Amino acid sequence: MITDNARLQPATSTLSGRRFLRAYSLALMLVVVTALFTAIQPAFIQPENVIGILYQVSLIGTMAVSSTFVIITGGIDLSVGPVVALAGLAAVFSLRDNGQVLVPALFAGLLTGLICGVLNGIAVAAFRLPAIVVTLATVSIYRGAALLIGGSVLHQVRGPESFLYIGSGRVAGFIPFPIFIFVGMTLVMYFLQTRTRFGLTVFATGENAEAARLCGLPVARTRLLVYLISGIGAAIGGIVLSSQVSTGAATYGNGIELDVIAAIVLGGTSLRGGSGSVLHTVIGALLIGEINNGLSMLNVSIEQQLIAKGLIIVLAIAFSDRLSRWADK
């Protein structure tokens, strides 16, 4: 009996270790990157710089946690960049036309994102068109609409202070308010993913949409809702960005969808659908933020930063994937 236990203990220990790596491989990657940059530049881990990183990733992170559901269902939303511009312009124009009143501006921006998300969702869910084709088309449509509405000029935000506080305000004098928006959106998305029937249906849709439909799950409605949520997340990003820079412009958000998708995929969400985690998306966003910040602290040129960031992201994904595969054996 003692011999049997002795034989079982190493196997159990190995299994526990592999489960640990499977669950925390991405977090370990974050620790490795943090340790690497700290070893090269000790100021990297200073509280001021850590808050700066959180502030830098708050915009991308807010949008990424909102778009995670889209990719879990096996879809993709490439239109979040133009929605950022459209929602920001809608909020800025509402401020101009309604006497700089905050609530109508927020409503206008969020409604713009909701409409864009619903249009994407209808095309994907109701007409069953490929998500990548739909959102590639709406990238052009939404950007063209932003240029048509806003032109090629910057539209100044002259108030109120409550609007400017959204992107530039600080809580307790040192914590930027966008960080709280990021945390709040993460908590809401995490609740939806782990505590609601909707969250379960999102996974079922991504794993096997036809089987989910045969089981009576509302697949079409779920696909519509995930694009709606993504549109609202992009709209929040547009409002925050316009508040940060005190302007609205049709060119804002150009290329931002690449960082959003990178954060989600780096967080381990499969582009094939069926797996993913909001919390892992947060870690993916933090990894991108750390890479950007660390390379800037090392005075790496922007051209070299782009190359290095791409290589580091690929290596990080490969490393995390290898750990997860090893843990699954």
How far, in Å, CA of 62 to CA of 253, rounded? Answer: 14
Residue 127 lies in a domain: yes
Higher local confidence (pLDDT), 239 or 5: 239
How far, in Å, CA of 324 to CA of 53, rounded? Answer: 27
Residue 101 lies in a domain: yes
At 305, the pLDDT band (50, 70, 90 cuts) reads confident
Q: Are strands 170-171 and 155-156 parallel, antiparallel or unpaired?
A: unpaired
Residue 187 lies in a domain: yes
Residue 317 lies in a domain: yes
Task: Please give the helix or strand (H or E) that residue 103 lies within, else none.
Answer: helix 102-121
* pLDDT at residue 2 tops 80: no
Q: Taking the CA atoms of 182, 313, 22 and 277 in sequence, report the sign of the dihedral they define.
A: positive
Strand partners, 155: 248
How far, in Å, CA of 152 to CA of 175, rounded? Answer: 33
How far, in Å, CA of 170 to CA of 124, rounded? Answer: 40
Verify cis geometry, omega within 30 degrees of 0, for the bond prior to 160: yes
Residue 25 lies in a domain: no
Higher local confidence (pLDDT), 315 or 135: 135
Q: How many residues does the chain have?
A: 329
pTM of the model: 0.90
* pLDDT at residue 4 tops 90: no
Q: Token pair of 22, please?
A: 């499977």
pLDDT tens per residue across span 64-103: 999 999 999 999 999 999 999 999 999 999 999 999 999 9
pLDDT tens per residue across span 229-272: 999 999 999 999 999 999 999 999 998 998 999 899 888 888 88
Q: Tell me the residue ranges of DSSP E strands in the chain.
A: 155-156, 170-171, 175-176, 247-248
* pLDDT at residue 23 tops 70: no
pLDDT of 314 reads 79
Residue 248 lies in a domain: yes
Phi first, then psi, for residue 184 (nearest 5°) are -60, -45
Q: Which residues are within 8 A (CB) of 258 and not within 5 positions of it... i.e. 6 or more apart?
A: none
Q: Which residues are within 8 A (CB) of 77 and not within 5 positions of it... i.e. 6 or more apart?
A: 67, 70, 120, 131, 135, 227, 230, 257
What is the amino acid identity at position 106?
L
Residue 3 lies in a domain: no
Q: What is the CATH number of the domain that holds 209?
A: 1.10.3470
How far, in Å, CA of 12 to CA of 24, rounded? Answer: 18
Strand partners, 171: 175
The DSSP secondary-structure symbol of 126 reads I
pLDDT of 233 reads 98
Angle at 178 between CA 173 and CA 182, to 5 degrees: 130
Residue 34 lies in a domain: no
Phi first, then psi, for residue 43 (nearest 5°) are -65, -10
Phi first, then psi, for residue 174 (nearest 5°) are -145, -10
The DSSP secondary-structure symbol of 176 reads E
* Local structure of 160: helix, strand or coil: coil
Q: Tell me the residue ranges of DSSP E strands in 144-280.
A: 155-156, 170-171, 175-176, 247-248
> Domain count of the chain?
1
At 191, the pLDDT band (50, 70, 90 cuts) reads very high
Of the candidates 259, 265, 266, 191, which has an alpha carbon nearest to the alpha carbon of residue 229? 191
pLDDT of 320 reads 62
Q: What domain range includes position 158?
A: 43-328
pLDDT of 25 reads 76
Estimate to the nearest angstrom the gap between the alpha carbon of 134 and the chain centroid.
20
